[in-house]
């Protein structure tokens, strides 16, 4: 199931990337509602699964707070994977942030071209956010998959002993 959610997350990142690329070229391939809903449906389950599966039960030395029974574990990915994730995240972040400038401009009455550009900027911002979330979710889910594979190979569950 985690593999399916990770693949969906990758598909959502690709979907957002293609649509942002088209918007930068001046083409809107699908309406904003469709673009954002499809990206959200593809990205958010994988992101949620990645966050939840990177929590581990605390074993060994107990944390200072007695109510903390689990901790979030950062992803155990190779450096190239973390670097690639960071670059993709930054690209989506930049696409979203750069769209804000276009959204803040006032639209003169009756100017449909300006209104269309504003909608394009709104779509680009939303897809930038979801693409960044998807990049992070993909890395988190991939890290969980690597941990499961490593655990299956060694036969011993990995624990956090901090």
What pLDDT was estimated at residue 161?
41
Query: What does the alpha-carbon distance between residue 16 and residue 39 come to, in Å, rounded to a whole number?
Result: 6
Q: Could you write out the three-class secondary structure of 112-147?
A: HHHHHHHHHHHHHHHHHHHHHHHHHHHHHHHHHHHH
CB 95 within 8 A of CB 17: no
Q: How many CB atoms lie within 10 A of CB 142?
A: 22
Q: Considering the entire predicted model, what is its pTM?
A: 0.77
pLDDT at 5 over 60: yes
Rounded Cα distance, 89 and 84, in Å:
8
Of 1 and 57, the structure prediction assigns the larger pLDDT to 1
Q: What is the pLDDT of residues 64-104, one digit of tens each?
A: 555 555 555 566 778 888 889 999 999 999 998 988 877 77
Find the farthest-apart pair of alpha carbons in the chain and give their distance in angstroms, rounded.
67
Res 144: pLDDT: 82
Q: Cβ(28)–Cβ(120) under 8 Å? A: yes
User: What does the pLDDT read at residue 10?
Assistant: 92
Averaged pLDDT of the chain: 81
Distance between CA 160 and CA 74 in Å, rounded? 11
Give 63's pLDDT tier (boundaries 50, 70, 90): low
């Amino acid at each position: 199931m985690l593999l399916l959610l990770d693949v969906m997350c990758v598909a959502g990142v690709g979907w957002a990337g293609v649509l942002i690329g088209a918007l930068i070229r001046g083409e809107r391939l699908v309406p904003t509602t469709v673009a954002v809903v499809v990206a959200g449906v593809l990205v958010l389950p994988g992101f949620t699964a990645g966050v939840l599966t990177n929590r581990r039960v605390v074993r060994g030395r107990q944390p200072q707070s007695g109510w903390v029974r689990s901790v979030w574990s950062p992803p155990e990915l190779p450096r190239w994977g973390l670097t690639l994730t960071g670059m993709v995240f930054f690209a989506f972040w930049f696409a979203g942030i750069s769209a804000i400038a276009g959204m803040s401009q006032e639209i003169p009455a009756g100017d449909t071209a300006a209104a269309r550009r504003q909608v394009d900027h709104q779509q680009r911002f939303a897809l930038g956010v979801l693409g960044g979330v998807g990049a992070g979710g993909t890395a988190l889910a991939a890290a969980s998959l690597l941990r499961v594979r490593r655990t299956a190979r060694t036969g011993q569950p990995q624990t956090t002993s901090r």
